[in-house]
Structure 1
Amino acid sequence: MINNVPDWLTPVAWAFIIAAVTTAALIAFDIYGRGKRHDTVAEEVVWVTSALYLGPFAYPLFSRYGRARGGAELSPDAPPISEAPSAVHGLPGGGASAIAHLIGVPLVVASGLTIAGIDLWVMIVVIGVLAMAVLFVFERTTASSRGHRLSVGAAAGAAVLTVLAFDVGMGGWMLLLHFNEYMPPATEGTFWFLMQIGIVAGLVTGYPMVAWLARRNRTVTPL
């Protein structure tokens, strides 16, 4: 298939990827190096992985809402996490997608599996299933650590509904790129940059579901 991705996107992609990895390292250092630990490792992973798709834009969010979660150096003027924007509570879905991409895409490429001769369909399915599993673990882990009663069914339902809503943006973006011949090979930096954009699109389409689940029965555990 013809690749219509413009050449100028390659340096832009690599610059953003480097900034994203650097930001993730800074957040990880703040949590582990400076001892500002969270209630669970799952929450810490969410903040670190947020940088993998938000890039440097993740750090201001972490500084305001993530850093105030633990450690001896709490900011006296930091708002309580309950006052964080609802969009921040959707970050676990973004983190689950980021992890699912990092695991799922290489697996699909290495396996050579296709549906109707196209590996994109396999990628979407594998990434979706992995994201549901990761989000399920997050819900159960964080709810349990805070003494919340969240059944296996409620956690699984929240994970499935959230990922399905998320995939309207993420999966739709991938299909748009594919059918317009703007999907580069997974070995190129532009592929991962475009997937970062897709995760952000997923956050947008997944937001209403996350907000509804949180209001309805608190099956989405906030950060």
Structure 2
Amino acid sequence: MSESPIPSWLTPVAWTFLTLSVLSAAFIAADIYLGRRRHNSVATELVWIASGLYLGPFAIAFYLSRGRTSTDSAPVDGTARKPADAAVALLPGGGASAVAHLIAVPFVVAVGWTIAGLAMWPMIILIAVLVVVMVAVYERVASTGPRTGHARGLSVGAAIVAAVITVVAFDIGMVGWMLLLHFNNAMPAVTDSTFWLLMQIGVIAGLLTGYPAVKWLLNRNRSVVPA
């Protein structure tokens, strides 16, 4: 029996980071809702909360510097957003991917769905579909208001196109990471904590490959909406 390429020390690291991720999402949610630091839309608030699921405590630092609003007034309209906010515009895709994993992976395992004998392929397909839907809904819902530059919001078609472009670019990193794990026999069982840690790393890899596309969409008539 060959030795697992997953080192034993990664298990406690995974449990630690997963715990910190849940606590980070809870902290951001508490700051928004209990601290009354509401945003322009619930969709934006959920994006910031979901960022904790894959960025862990780094999401708190990012939220405090880029996403926290005032308690005594409506959120700053942000009309003069800078191109650098493409980093913030990545968060809807990252959050959608994190949530899609939590839905798709257990579902595929529960129904025993495989393609070519592998559960990985239906997971990739279902995650991609879910992310496109969630990102498109976010873009449509969050695109209304003075801070977005769209008085009437993005059309359904524009929101879907932006979502598809984002997901395709994102999947270069995410799917590439999954394939790298698979072909090196380094993909743990979905019941293993290391699996979920490695998927968090995959989401971050997706953010890196998705950045150029999201920045292009943001500069192209603000076709994506930063969180």
Same fold (TM over 0.5): yes
Q: Does 1:130 align with 2:130?
A: yes
TM-score by length of 2: 0.91
Query: How much has 1:217 moved relative to structure 2?
Result: 2.5
Q: Is the 8 A contact 1:30 1:36 kept in 2?
A: yes
1:165 is matched with 169
1:6 is matched with 7
Secondary structure, aligned partner of 2:39: coil
Q: Is the 8 A contact 1:40 1:145 kept in 2?
A: no
Q: Is the 8 A contact 1:183 1:191 kept in 2?
A: yes
Aligned equivalent of 1:184, options 166, 185, 188: 188
Alpha-carbon distance in 1 for matches of 2:224, 2:181: 31
Q: Which has the higher helix share?
A: 1
Query: How much has 1:124 moved relative to structure 2?
Result: 0.5
Runs of 4+ residues deviating >6 angstroms: 73-76
Query: How much has 1:60 moved relative to structure 2?
Result: 1.1
TM-score by length of 1: 0.92
Compared with structure 1, are the counterparts of its residues 81 and 105 closer, same or farther at alpha carbon in structure 2 (3 Å cutoff)? farther
Q: Is the 8 A contact 1:65 1:81 kept in 2?
A: no
Query: How much has 1:35 moved relative to structure 2?
Result: 0.9
Alpha-carbon distance in 2 for matches of 1:149, 1:45: 19
Compared with structure 1, are the counterparts of its residues 139 and 80 closer, same or farther at alpha carbon in structure 2 (3 Å cutoff)? closer
Compared with structure 1, are the counterparts of its residues 23 and 149 closer, same or farther at alpha carbon in structure 2 (3 Å cutoff)? closer
Query: How much has 1:75 moved relative to structure 2?
Result: 11
Correspondence 1:139-154 to 2 at 5 A: 139-145=139-145, 147-154=151-158
Alpha-carbon distance in 2 for matches of 1:75, 1:219: 21
Query: How much has 1:145 moved relative to structure 2?
Result: 5.0
5+ residue gaps, structure 1, are none
| C-alpha RMSD of the superposition | 2.1
Q: Does 1:95 align with 2:81?
A: no
Query: How much has 1:73 moved relative to structure 2?
Result: 7.2
5+ residue gaps, structure 2, are none
Secondary structure, aligned partner of 1:165: helix
1:194 is matched with 198
Tell me the percent identity: 55
Q: Is the 8 A contact 1:67 1:74 kept in 2?
A: no
Query: How much has 1:87 moved relative to structure 2?
Result: 1.1
Query: How much has 1:86 moved relative to structure 2?
Result: 2.1
Aligned length: 220
What is the identity, as a one-letter code, of the residue corresponding to 1:218? Answer: R
Compared with structure 1, are the counterparts of its residues 152 and 186 closer, same or farther at alpha carbon in structure 2 (3 Å cutoff)? same
Q: Does 1:115 align with 2:119?
A: no
Query: How much has 1:222 moved relative to structure 2?
Result: 1.7
